[in-house]
Structure 1
Amino acid sequence: MGLLKTRKNKKFNYQPRYFDDKGEGNPFEIKHKFDDFRKTVETNKSIKTRFNEALEDYKNPDKEANRRILIIVGILVLIFLFIIDFDLSIFFS
């Protein structure tokens, strides 16, 4: 009756639905979409190295992205001033 036998695990031939048949990469790996562009994602590095690279990225930011953020903030401030009926004529004589 199998009282002394151990039960064998069931084996399934599972393949994820949207996984390439080419075998590129691991289908079970969870990866953020921006990991390829970050320097601090590597797991082999020490905390000091990751911290230094993060500071380096902070010191040398992308100029185009900064300009875009400043333009967006400026437009939002003007919209806010328009909503609260701020009189801009005090800046001009």
Structure 2
Amino acid sequence: MGLLKLRKNKKFNYTPRYYKGEGNPFEIKHKFDEHRTTIGNNSGLKTKFNNAVNDYKHNPNSEANKRVLIIVGILVLIFLFIIGFDLSIFFSK
């Protein structure tokens, strides 16, 4: 009995039943990760923001970009209406 020795973990050569043989079967990965540029080692907020803007600019589906801008604009107007913001400051008499 070795009091100062650490016990080694047992190793098993296990493969899942329906494993196709490509990559690690125990790795959890989202199916769109290889298409995204915003994931990975983004150290700072500025880097994350720049990556998100570049991903938005170089998106091949421009209809989705327009749809997102319209939805964000409507939500901002609803928020301003709820808090009682006076929009008359933008219009001259």
Larger Rg belongs to: 1
TM-score by length of 2: 0.46
